């Protein structure tokens, strides 16, 4: 993850650190979300 991207808003969606996801979901009562990765990063995941 590029640390320079954290906090940016892209297409009305704010970029958060993955470590923050659980807290944000609970706080905002989110029921559905979207997690994305670049093609290069997705290919490296095992």
DSSP letters along the chain, please? --GGGTT-EETTEE---GGGHHHHHHHHT---------HHHHHH--
- N-to-C CA span, the chain: 16
Which residues are CB-contacts of 37 (< 8 A; sequence separation ≥ 6)? 45
Q: Is the pLDDT of residue 46 over 70?
A: no
Q: Which two tokens stand for residue 32?
A: 């559905």
Q: What is the pTM of this model?
A: 0.56
**Which pLDDT tens digit goes with each residue over 8-25?**
998 898 888 889 989 999
Q: What are the extents of the domains in the chain? A: 3-44
């Amino acid at each position: 993850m590029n640390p320079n991207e954290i906090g940016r808003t892209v297409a009305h969606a704010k970029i958060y650190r993955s470590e923050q996801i659980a807290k944000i979901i609970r706080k905002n009562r989110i029921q559905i979300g979207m997690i994305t990765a670049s093609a290069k990063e997705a290919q490296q995941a095992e």
